[in-house]
C-alpha cells in the first residue's frame, strides 16, 4: 500500500496550497520525510519525571475536549456541555472529558467541611463526615450516567451536526463508593419509609424523590471515579449514583438524604424531567434510560479521511435496564442490517463498545445502529417514538441515529424515511 | 439481605436538622408558619425577579417563563409555566425558597417566599390582587394542571412495540433523507479539531 494518489491527497492539494501537494509528491519520489529526516524527539532529551506531576494529554490531542452550545441555555452556569464521544474508544470516559450539567455552577467544597445528613423516617437522624464514609465497606461499579435530555434537541428533526452534540450528555466511569443501603440501615429505616429525598450542597439545592426500593438495590454514595477523587464538576467530594436512571437523579455534592413516606414533587420532577405527550398530558417519574446506541466513527465530527477499502465503524450502546448483548448496524439506511462485533466488558447499566469492519467501496452510506438490551427491548426509530409521544417530550429520546456519509467521506446528521 | 448497620456517624442535633431540612411537599409537610400578600410579593418580585423573569413572568431572553401559556400544552410550541403546567404550589414555594434568586439563593425570609408565591399566583390569574397566602390556606390552592400528570407507563404503552423481532435483510424498498442538520446549521464550529484531523490524515497519506 504505497505511493498511490489518494482521495485525501487530491482533496488537500485542491483545497490548500501547491506546497502540500509538492511535499507529498516529494515523499512519493524519495521516501517519507518522517522516516528520512532525523526527528527532534529522536535526538534531544525530553522532559524529566518531575515535569508533569499530574499529566495531561499530548498537545496534539488538545481538540479532544468538552464543548458547549451557547444558544441552548440562558446562561453557562445552569447549563450543559458535551463529551467528545467521536474521539474516544473503549467504554471508560476520561474524568476530564465527562460532560457537565450544573444548575448553579460548580460548587467548590472543602471535604473537611462537608457533611452528609440522614433525617426523616429513621430510628436515628445521623451526620457523617467524609472520614466516616471512608470507613464503610466499598463497591466498585462501572455505570453510564446519561442526562435525561441527551438527544433532546433532535426530537423535531436533525439539528446538531456531531455525535458529541447529539449524544454527548453521557459518560461512563468506574465509581468507588458505599452502598446507600448501608447508610440507611445504619440510621435504621422506619416501617413507613418509602421515599428518599437526596439533596445537593450547591446553590441549586438539587433534590429528587427516589423510591426506597431503588435506594436499597444498587445506589451508591460515591467518592471516587476512575480511581481518583470525583472532579469538582462531578460532585466532589461525594455524589449519588443511581444506576440506569436519568442523570438528574445522581445528586452531586450530596449533603442530605431525607427519608419520607411520599414523593416530594420538587421542581426537577414536575416542571422539569416530566415528559409532555402530544395530548397535553405528561409522564412523571420516567426514571429508567432505555436502550440506545450511536455510531461514533464515522460521524459528522469524524469523517472518513482515508481512501476506500478497509473501514472501521465503531460506536457505543447502553441500557438502563441491563446489558447490551447485541447491536445491529446498517450501511444503507435500514434496508439491510449486520450484527456488529461487541468488544470489551459487558456490564449491566454500562456503556458497551461495538465495531463493524467493512470494505467501503466509496459510495455514499446511510449509517445507523440498533441496540438490543438483555430484556429483549430493541432500540426504536425516532419516528416510532414520535408516534407514541409527539415531538415535545424533551427528555428520553433514544431513537436510532442516522449519519449520511457522502462519497468524499464527509458525514452529516440526517433523518430518513 | 439482612440489614447491615455500622457504628459510624453521630446523631444529628435538632438545630442541625432544622437548618438543612427545608423541603416542602404538596400536602404541606415542611411549610413554616408565615404569610404574604400579592402586593408585597409584587414589590419583592420587581426588585429581585423581574430582571430575568420579566415584569409579568413572561421572561427575558432564555430565562424561564413563569406565567401565561394557558391551554398551550397541545400546541406545536407549548409554553410550560407555573400556571399552565406545574402541578403543585408547594413546588413553587420550595424552589423559590431553596434556589432563587439565581446567584443569591436562600436570601428570602419565609414571609417573603409566601408573598412572592402569592404574586406568582396572581400573575397566573389564579388568585385576586387582595389575596394573602399563608401556611393555613396554602394547601387549599390547587394549580390548573395537577390532574394531567401520570406515572411512567412506558412498560405498558411502548414495550411490546419495541420488543418485536427485527428485520435484517430487504427491510424496505427505498430510503429518502427527510431532514438535514447541515441545513439547520446551528452547530458550533471547531476549526482546530478539523485542521488537526486533516493534518493527521494528510501525514498518513504522505507515506
- Per residue of chain A (417 residues), what is the pLDDT tens digit? 344 444 444 444 444 444 444 445 455 679 999 999 999 999 999 999 999 999 999 999 999 999 998 888 888 989 999 999 999 999 999 999 999 999 999 999 999 999 999 999 999 999 999 999 999 999 999 999 999 999 999 999 999 999 999 999 999 999 999 999 999 999 999 999 999 999 999 999 999 999 999 999 999 999 999 999 999 999 999 999 999 999 999 999 999 999 999 999 999 999 999 999 999 999 999 999 999 999 999 999 999 999 999 999 999 999 999 999 999 999 999 999 999 999 999 999 999 999 999 999 999 999 999 999 999 999 999 999 999 999 999 999 999 999 999 999 999 999 999
What does the pLDDT read at residue B164? 84
Distance of CA B11 to the CA centre of its chain: 34
Helix/strand number for chain A, H first, E second: 8, 24
Inter-chain touch A265–B167, beta carbons under 8 Å? no
In chain B, positions 125-184, which contact chain A (CB-CB < 8 Å)?
148-154, 157-159, 161-164, 166-182, 184
Q: Are A378 and A414 in contact (CB under 8 A)?
A: no
Inter-chain touch A158–B197, beta carbons under 8 Å? no
Q: What is the dihedral of CA B138, B140, B142, B147, to 10 degrees?
A: 120
Instruction: Count other C-beta atoms under 10 Å from residue A96's C-beta.
Output: 12
**Is B56 an 8 Å CB contact of chain A?**
no
The verdict on ipTM greater than 0.85 is yes
Residue of chain A with shortest Cα separation from B65: A271
**Sequence-distant (≥ 6) Cβ neighbours of residue A56 within 8 angstroms:** none
Q: What is the DSSP string of A115-170?
A: EEEEEESBSS-EEEEHHHHTTS--EEEEEEEE-TTTTGGGTTS--SSSHHHHH-SE
For B114-126, what is each residue's pLDDT tens digit? 999 999 999 999 9
A40 three-state secondary structure: helix
pLDDT band of B203, cuts 50, 70, 90: low
Selected for mutation to probe chain A from B84, B144, B201 (highest A CB count within 10 Å) is: B201
Residue of chain A with shortest Cα separation from B72: A280
Query: Which residues in chain B touch residue A375, judged by CB atoms under 8 angstroms apart?
Result: 163
Q: Are B38 and B127 in contact (CB under 8 A)?
A: yes
**Is A62 an 8 Å CB contact of chain B?**
yes
**Is B73 an 8 Å CB contact of chain A?**
yes
What order of strands is seen across the sheet that includes strand B149-151?
A275-276, A282-284, B149-151
Class of domain A77-283: alpha beta
Can you tell me the mean pLDDT for B169-185?
92
Segment among B2-6, B94-98, B131-135 with least mean pLDDT: B2-6
pLDDT > 70: percent of chain B: 97
B27/chain A closest Cα distance in angstroms: 9
What does the pLDDT read at residue A15? 43
Inter-chain touch B188–A69, beta carbons under 8 Å? yes
What does the pLDDT read at residue B199? 80
The burial of A342, by beta-carbon neighbours within 10 Å (0-12 exposed, 13-18 middle, 19 or more buried), is given as: middle
**Sequence-distant (≥ 6) Cβ neighbours of residue A26 within 8 angstroms:** A33
Residue appearing with cell numbers 463493524: A356
Report the alpha-carbon distance of residue A166 to residue A85 in Å, rounded. Answer: 10
For residue B189 the three cell numbers come to: 464550529
Question: Using N-to-C axis directions, what is the helix angle for B191-206 and A18-30, rounded to 10°?
Answer: 30
Q: Are A313 and A353 in contact (CB under 8 A)?
A: no
For residue A322 the three cell numbers come to: 441491563
In chain B, positions 80-109, which contact chain A (CB-CB < 8 Å)?
80, 82, 85-88, 90-91, 94-95, 98-99, 102-103, 105-106
Inter-chain touch B152–A286, beta carbons under 8 Å? yes
Inter-chain touch B23–A303, beta carbons under 8 Å? no
Q: What is the DSSP string of B33-73?
A: S-EEEHHHHHHHHHHHTHHHH-TTS--STTSPP-S--TT-T
Inter-chain touch A6–B205, beta carbons under 8 Å? yes
Instruction: Count other C-beta atoms under 10 Å from residue B8's C-beta.
Output: 18
Which of A128, A120, A287 shows the shortest CA–CA distance to A197? Answer: A120
Residue B120, CA distances (Å) to A238, B31, B58, B141 in order: 35, 18, 11, 12
Selected for mutation to probe chain B from A66, A205, A410 (highest B CB count within 10 Å) is: A205
Query: Which residues in chain A touch residue B206, judged by CB atoms under 8 angstroms apart?
Result: 9, 23-24, 27, 32-34
For residue B25 the three cell numbers come to: 411537599
**Is A135 an 8 Å CB contact of chain B?**
yes
Q: Are A392 and A155 in contact (CB under 8 A)?
A: yes
Residue appearing with cell numbers 462501572: A142
**Is B17 an 8 Å CB contact of chain A?**
yes
Selected for mutation to probe chain A from B82, B149, B196 (highest A CB count within 10 Å) is: B149
pLDDT, greater one: A20 or B135: B135
Inter-chain touch B176–A60, beta carbons under 8 Å? no
**For chain B, what is the mean pLDDT?**
94
**Is B78 an 8 Å CB contact of chain A?**
yes
User: Against a cut of 0.90, is the pTM above it?
Assistant: yes
For residue A341 the three cell numbers come to: 462485533
**Sequence-distant (≥ 6) Cβ neighbours of residue A46 within 8 angstroms:** none
- Evaluated on CA atoms A316, A319, A320, A325, the torsion sign reads negative
Q: Are A34 and B203 in contact (CB under 8 A)?
A: yes
Q: What is the DSSP string of A353-410?
A: EEEEEEEE-SS-EEEEEEEE-TTS-BPPPHHHHHHHH-S---S---PPPEEEE-TTS-
In chain A, positions 191-220, which contact chain B (CB-CB < 8 Å)?
197, 199, 203-205, 207
What does the pLDDT read at residue A44? 97
B2: left (phi over 0), alpha (psi -120 to 50) or beta: beta
Inter-chain touch B197–A305, beta carbons under 8 Å? yes
In chain A, positions 369-408, which contact chain B (CB-CB < 8 Å)?
370, 372, 375-380, 384, 388, 392, 404
Instruction: Count other C-beta atoms under 10 Å from residue B99's C-beta.
Output: 20
Inter-chain touch B168–A336, beta carbons under 8 Å? yes
Q: Are A231 and A132 in contact (CB under 8 A)?
A: no
- Evaluated on CA atoms A271, A243, A194, B21, the torsion sign reads negative
In Å, the largest CA–CA distance within chain A is 82
- Residue count of chain A, please give it: 417
Q: Are A328 and A284 in contact (CB under 8 A)?
A: no
Residue A119, CA distances (Å) to A184, A204, A207, B13 in order: 10, 20, 14, 10
Q: What kind of architecture, by CATH, is found in domain A292-414?
A: Sandwich (2.60)
Inter-chain touch B9–A127, beta carbons under 8 Å? yes
**Sequence-distant (≥ 6) Cβ neighbours of residue A103 within 8 angstroms:** A78, A202, A204, A206, B99
Q: What element of type H or E holds A28? A: helix A18-30
Query: Which residues in chain A touch residue B106, judged by CB atoms under 8 angstroms apart?
Result: 203, 205
Inter-chain touch A161–B182, beta carbons under 8 Å? yes
- At residue A312's C-alpha, the angle toward residues A307 and A315, to 5°, is 135
Q: Are A16 and A413 in contact (CB under 8 A)?
A: no
Inter-chain touch B25–A265, beta carbons under 8 Å? yes
pLDDT band of B204, cuts 50, 70, 90: low
For residue B3 the three cell numbers come to: 440489614
**Is B191 an 8 Å CB contact of chain A?**
no
For residue A245 the three cell numbers come to: 436512571
Report the alpha-carbon distance of residue A356 to residue A342 in Å, rounded. Answer: 9
What order of strands is seen across the sheet that includes strand A67-68?
A67-68, A79-82, A101-102
Residue ranges covered by each domain of chain A: 7-42, 77-283, 292-414
Amino acid at each position: 500500500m504505497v505511493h498511490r494518489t489518494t482521495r485525501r491527497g487530491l482533496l488537500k492539494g485542491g483545497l490548500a496550497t501547491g506546497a502540500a501537494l509538492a511535499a507529498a509528491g516529494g515523499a512519493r519520489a524519495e521516501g517519507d520525510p518522517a522516516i528520512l529526516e532525523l526527528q527532534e524527539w529522536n535526538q534531544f532529551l525530553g522532559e524529566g519525571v518531575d515535569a508533569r506531576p499530574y499529566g495531561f494529554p499530548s498537545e496534539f490531542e488538545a481538540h479532544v475536549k468538552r464543548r458547549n452550545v451557547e444558544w441552548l441555555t440562558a446562561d453557562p452556569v445552569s447549563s450543559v456541555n458535551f463529551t467528545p464521544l467521536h474521539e474516544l474508544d473503549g467504554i471508560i470516559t476520561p474524568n476530564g472529558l465527562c460532560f457537565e450539567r450544573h444548575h448553579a455552577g460548580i460548587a467548590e467544597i472543602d471535604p473537611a467541611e462537608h457533611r452528609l445528613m440522614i433525617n426523616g423516617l429513621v430510628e436515628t437522624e445521623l451526620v457523617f463526615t467524609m472520614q466516616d464514609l471512608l470507613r464503610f465497606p466499598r463497591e466498585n461499579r462501572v455505570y453510564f450516567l446519561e442526562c435525561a435530555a441527551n438527544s433532546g434537541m433532535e426530537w423535531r428533526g436533525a439539528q446538531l451536526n456531531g455525535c458529541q452534540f447529539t449524544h454527548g450528555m453521557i459518560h461512563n466511569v468506574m465509581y468507588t463508593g458505599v452502598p446507600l443501603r448501608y447508610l440507611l440501615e445504619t440510621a435504621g429505616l422506619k416501617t413507613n419509609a418509602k421515599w428518599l429525598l437526596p439533596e445537593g450542597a450547591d446553590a441549586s439545592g438539587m433534590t429528587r424523590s427516589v423510591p426506597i426500593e431503588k435506594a436499597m438495590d444498587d445506589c451508591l454514595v460515591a467518592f471516587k471515579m476512575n480511581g481518583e477523587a470525583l472532579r469538582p464538576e462531578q460532585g466532589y467530594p461525594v455524589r449519588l449514583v443511581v444506576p440506569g436512571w436519568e442523570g438528574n437523579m445522581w445528586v452531586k455534592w450530596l449533603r442530605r438524604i431525607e427519608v419520607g413516606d411520599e414523593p416530594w414533587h420538587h421542581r426537577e420532577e414536575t416542571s422539569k424531567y416530566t415528559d409532555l405527550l402530544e395530548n397535553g398530558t405528561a409522564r412523571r417519574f420516567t426514571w429508567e434510560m432505555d436502550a440506545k446506541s450511536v455510531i461514533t466513527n464515522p460521524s459528522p465530527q469524524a469523517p472518513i479521511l482515508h481512501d476506500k477499502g478497509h473501514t472501521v465503524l465503531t460506536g457505543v450502546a447502553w441500557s438502563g435496564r441491563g446489558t447490551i448483548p447485541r447491536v445491529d448496524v446498517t450501511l444503507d439506511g435500514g434496508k439491510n442490517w449486520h450484527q456488529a462485533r461487541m468488544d470489551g466488558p459487558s456490564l449491566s447499566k454500562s456503556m458497551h463498545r461495538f465495531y463493524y469492519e467493512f470494505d467501503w467501496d466509496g459510495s455514499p452510506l446511510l449509517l445507523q445502529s440498533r441496540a438490543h438490551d438483555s430484556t429483549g427491548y430493541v432500540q426504536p426509530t425516532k419516528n416510532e417514538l414520535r408516534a407514541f409521544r409527539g415531538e415535545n417530550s424533551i427528555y428520553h429520546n433514544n431513537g436510532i441515529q442516522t449519519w449520511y456519509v457522502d462519497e468524499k467521506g464527509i458525514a452529516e446528521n440526517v433523518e430518513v424515511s | 439481605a439482612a440489614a447491615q448497620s455500622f457504628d459510624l456517624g453521630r446523631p444529628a442535633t435538632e438545630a442541625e436538622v432544622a437548618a438543612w431540612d427545608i423541603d416542602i411537599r404538596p400536602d404541606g409537610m415542611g411549610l413554616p408558619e408565615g404569610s404574604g400578600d400579592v402586593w408585597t410579593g409584587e414589590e419583592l418580585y420587581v426588585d429581585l425577579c423581574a430582571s430575568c423573569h420579566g415584569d409579568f413572568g413572561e421572561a427575558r431572553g432564555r430565562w424561564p417563563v413563569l406565567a401565561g401559556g394557558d391551554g398551550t400544552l397541545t400546541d406545536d410550541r407549548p409554553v410550560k409555566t407555573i400556571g399552565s403546567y406545574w402541578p403543585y404550589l408547594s413546588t413553587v414555594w420550595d424552589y423559590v425558597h431553596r434556589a432563587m434568586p439565581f446567584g443569591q439563593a436562600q436570601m428570602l425570609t419565609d414571609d417573603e417566599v409566601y408573598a412572592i408565591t402569592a404574586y406568582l399566583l396572581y400573575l397566573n390569574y389564579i388568585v385576586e390582587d387582595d389575596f394573602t397566602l399563608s401556611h393555613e390556606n396554602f394547601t387549599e390552592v390547587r394549580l390548573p394542571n395537577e390532574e394531567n400528570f401520570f406515572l411512567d407507563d412506558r412498560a405498558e404503552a411502548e414495550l411490546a412495540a419495541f420488543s418485536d423481532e427485527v428485520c435484517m435483510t430487504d427491510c424496505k424498498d427505498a430510503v429518502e433523507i427527510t431532514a438535514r442538520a447541515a441545513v439547520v446549521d446551528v452547530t458550533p464550529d471547531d476549526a482546530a479539531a478539523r485542521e488537526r484531523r486533516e493534518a493527521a490524515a494528510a501525514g498518513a497519506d504522505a507515506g
